[in-house]
């Protein structure tokens, strides 16, 4: 059927009058012009090299941070609906004096004392090992300014320290998790936990070892710790295996106390390679506006594993925490119900 110009104008006017207009992308826009989330989305949500992703919500904007790449020392992207992302300015344009350029990994952000703290991994010039630093900003978009005169964690005798991850407990106490980089040097790897100062810029007390690589699927490494509390249970998610292989995967351990002891789950790993998705891992957890918990992680495309062949794109899948068990819906590649922004 063909519509005359006048009938097309009448139809458009009726849609606008009703307050709803179907856009070409399939999303809906209300009469106010504010976008409404698409009904479905499909992974990857950011199909560029964006390894070790972390997502933080501030106001009505979601911020994603990732390991260094063509977009800067700390790659940074923003979204209002979690499925459409725009790469923006480098969140850490200036490295601290102690750091060697080109090796800034696995950034994560906390909000303590009215400021935002960016924890990152960089190679320490003095020890020639990867160590953990912190930078601060009044905005989640940065730019973040390095704090202190050196790393806040640098276990040179244990191969270095990488993959910092902040956690704020239900009572308000803040902690930092990380792993020693023992796999770089034929040493065991451990996930550590230590309390943070109120401003998030210093560690206090003594570190506690939560887990180490003692399961067959983990190989020589446990890394990328993420701590999530729900229903009185602390869920420690982590990645294991070689990052540049299809064996890279996500597992978890649980405890009723933040400092442990933690018991690694018998059903590990819970997120593994499937189909065209290879080596899923370096996860973190966040919640959408509807309270649904999500796992953000990176993965290779099967057959294109390794930086010389492919790249690690950013992906989202639902994750549930119940009665001491973790269930991940992915890795998915088909249309899925979209998050609530």
- Residue 29: the pLDDT is 32
pLDDT band at residue 226 using 50, 70 and 90 as cut-offs: very high
Domains and CATH numbers, the chain: 1-36 (no CATH), 37-337 (2.115.10.20)
Task: Write down the catalytic residue from 163, 181, 218, 223.
Answer: 223
Which residues have C-beta within 8 Å of that of residue 123, sequence separation ≥ 6?
Answer: 99, 100, 103, 129, 130, 131
What value does the mean pLDDT of the chain take?
Answer: 91
Question: How confident is the model over 189-206, as pLDDT tens digits?
Answer: 999 999 999 999 999 999
Q: 3-state class of 14 per DSSP?
A: helix
Q: Give the residue-averaged pLDDT of 158-176.
A: 98
How would DSSP label each residue in 99-123? EEEEEEEEEEEEEETTEEEEEEEEE
62, two tokens: 């979601």
- The answer to whether residue 22 scores a pLDDT higher than 80 is no
pTM: 0.89
State the number of CA atoms in the 13 A half-sphere of 116 facing the CB: 19
Q: Give the residue-averaged pLDDT of 224-246.
A: 98
- Residue 115: the pLDDT is 98
- Of 116, 120, 81, residue with least CA distance to 103: 120
Question: How confident is the model over 289-338, as pLDDT tens digits?
Answer: 999 999 999 999 999 999 999 999 999 999 999 999 999 999 999 999 99
- Residue 37: the pLDDT is 52
Higher pLDDT, 143 or 30: 143
Task: Write down the catalytic residue from 52, 124, 158, 218.
Answer: 52
Question: How confident is the model over 88-125, as pLDDT tens digits?
Answer: 999 999 999 999 999 999 999 999 999 999 999 999 99
CA atoms of 272 and 41, how far apart (whole Å): 21
Q: Give the residue-averaged pLDDT of 69-83.
A: 97
pLDDT band at residue 257 using 50, 70 and 90 as cut-offs: very high
Instruction: Mark whether 223 is an active-site residue.
Output: yes
| Start-to-end C-alpha separation, the chain | 38
């Amino acid at each position: 059927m063909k519509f005359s110009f006048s009938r097309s104008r009448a139809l458009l006017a009726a849609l606008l009058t009703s307050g709803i207009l179907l856009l070409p992308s399939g999303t809906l826009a209300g009469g106010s012009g504010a976008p409404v989330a698409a009904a479905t989305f499909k992974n990857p949500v950011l199909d560029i090299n964006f390894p070790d992703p972390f997502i933080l919500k501030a106001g009505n904007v979601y911020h994603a941070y990732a390991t260094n790449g063509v977009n800067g020392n700390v790659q940074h992207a923003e979204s209002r609906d979690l499925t459409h992302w725009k790469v923006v300015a480098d969140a850490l344009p200036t490295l601290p004096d102690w750091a060697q350029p080109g090796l800034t990994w696995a950034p994560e952000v906390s909000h303590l004392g009215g400021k935002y703290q960016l924890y990152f991994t960089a190679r320490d010039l003095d020890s020639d090992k990867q160590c953990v630093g912190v930078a601060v900003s009044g905005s989640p978009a940065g730019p973040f300014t390095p704090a202190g005169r050196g790393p806040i964690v640098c276990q040179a005798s244990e191969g270095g320290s990488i993959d910092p991850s902040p956690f704020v407990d239900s009572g308000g106490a803040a902690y930092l998790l990380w792993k020693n980089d023992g796999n770089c040097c034929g040493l065991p790897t451990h996930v550590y936990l230590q309390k943070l100062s109120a401003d998030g810029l210093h560690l206090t007390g003594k570190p506690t070892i939560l887990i180490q690589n003692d399961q067959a699927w983990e190989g020589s490494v446990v890394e990328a710790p993420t701590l999530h509390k729900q229903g009185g249970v602390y869920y420690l998610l982590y990645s294991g295996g070689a990052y540049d292989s299809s064996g890279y995967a996500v597992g978890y351990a649980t405890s009723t106390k933040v400092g442990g002891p933690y018991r690694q789950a018998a059903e590990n790993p819970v997120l593994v390679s499937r189909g065209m998705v290879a080596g899923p891992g370096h996860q973190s957890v966040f919640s959408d506006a509807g309270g649904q918990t999500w796992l953000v992680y990176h993965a290779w495309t099967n057959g294109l594993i390794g930086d010389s062949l492919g790249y690690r794109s950013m992906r989202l899948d639902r994750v549930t925490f119940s009665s001491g068990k973790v269930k991940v819906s992915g890795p998915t590649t088909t249309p899925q119900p979209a998050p609530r922004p």
